[in-house]
Amino acid sequence: MAGLGGSNGRNAQECQLIQDLTRRYGCLSRHVLAQTVCELLGWQRLNGNLKTAECRILLEQMQAEGWIHLPALRAGRPRGRMTGTSAIPVSISEMPTALAALQPIRLQRVETPAQRQLWRDLIAQHHYLGHKVPFGAHLRYLIQGTPHPDALHSPLVLGCLQFSSPAWRMGARDTRIGRDDSTRAKRLQQVICNSRFLILPQVQVKNLASHVLALALRTVTRDWEAAYGLRPYLVETLVDTARFTGHCYQAANWIDVGLTTGRGRQDRQHALHDAHPKRIFLYPLTPNAQQKLRQNT
């Protein structure tokens, strides 16, 4: 478990410390317990921020396995659950149909309360997965187009993007990289996931999606390193082929490496094996990405 490397590598002393903490401080919230564990064990990102979100997932996994007993969940917004959003329809009048008419297209990083609310509303209304609080580290963007110079409108909101922590284990991805469990644990933070991509349904612009993906990869590489102190080497995404073709990823030169088993992040008992597999696409963000992700030092 050293450094949140996974349940199979748990250190006996770390487990004992976590058990002692949960027994002695059962009145604390799960969030505060996770912060405390991270502080005591030095679980932090390169920028010094604690890995609180990942630690909380680990604590809940240990409880499910019978190692510890956590305090009851408190009122609030559980991580990974569907969250409430206000239904604010977004109307785009006189939407151009040519990509050139929207240039320059930019990605507005979501930082203010108003931007966060708009992002949540759009995803809740128009993305088939809806809005969920993501696991671990994440960055969100609003896709904006530039209106006609003579218009008095604000930038046109064309859609949304989210990048977040990757899946812990995906056979096709890990086979492609060529690494074992030990290496994956050390390098996993240098893989990120494009976990939401939405072009609003009223935006019918040819080649827009692949253009946005190319822009997003340049943008998120810089922003992720600034936010978390770690440069990502590889980005992954999952495409539900029952709904989408994945053509925009192919057009943007992403690599199709196969299908998932259909299991989710929390399906550790293999209860959902074979349930709705998705196609895995990868894109290297740096030269020799595979070799760098295989390094064990």
**C-alpha span between 259 and 247 (Å, rounded):** 16
250 within domain boundaries: yes
Q: Please check whether residues 48 and 107 belong to one and the same domain.
A: no
Q: In what order do the strands lie in the sheet with 255-259?
A: 106-109, 138-145, 156-164, 191-199, 234-239, 279-284, 255-259
Q: Are 105 and 212 in contact (CB under 8 A)?
A: yes
Q: Are 78 and 72 in contact (CB under 8 A)?
A: no
136 within domain boundaries: yes
84 within domain boundaries: no
CATH number for the domain spanning 116: value is 3.40.630.30
Question: Is 0.85 topped by the overall pTM?
Answer: no
109 burial type by CB count under 10 A (0-12 exposed, 13-18 middle, 19+ buried): middle
Q: What separation in angstroms does the CA of 77 have from each of 29, 125, 152, 163?
A: 13, 19, 38, 20
Q: Please check whether residues 173 and 220 belong to one and the same domain.
A: yes
73 within domain boundaries: no
Q: Please check whether residues 155 and 24 belong to one and the same domain.
A: no
The amino acid present at 62, given as its one-letter code, is: M
Q: Please check whether residues 44 and 104 belong to one and the same domain.
A: no
Nearest to 268 by CA among 168, 201, 134, 195: 168
> What is the extent of the structural domain holding 42?
7-64
Q: Please check whether residues 117 and 174 belong to one and the same domain.
A: yes
Q: Please check whether residues 26 and 148 belong to one and the same domain.
A: no
Q: How many domains does the chain contain in total?
A: 2
As given in the structure block, the two tokens for residue 134 are 């993501």
Q: What is the pLDDT along the chain (297 residues), one digit of tens a residue?
A: 545 544 444 588 888 989 988 888 777 788 888 888 888 888 888 777 888 888 988 899 899 989 999 988 866 555 455 555 443 434 455 567 889 988 999 999 999 988 999 999 999 999 999 988 776 788 999 999 987 655 545 788 999 999 998 888 888 888 888 866 666 666 788 899 999 999 999 898 999 999 999 999 999 999 999 998 889 999 999 999 889 989 999 999 999 999 988 655 444 444 444 457 899 999 999 998 888 888 766
Q: Are 129 and 164 in contact (CB under 8 A)?
A: no
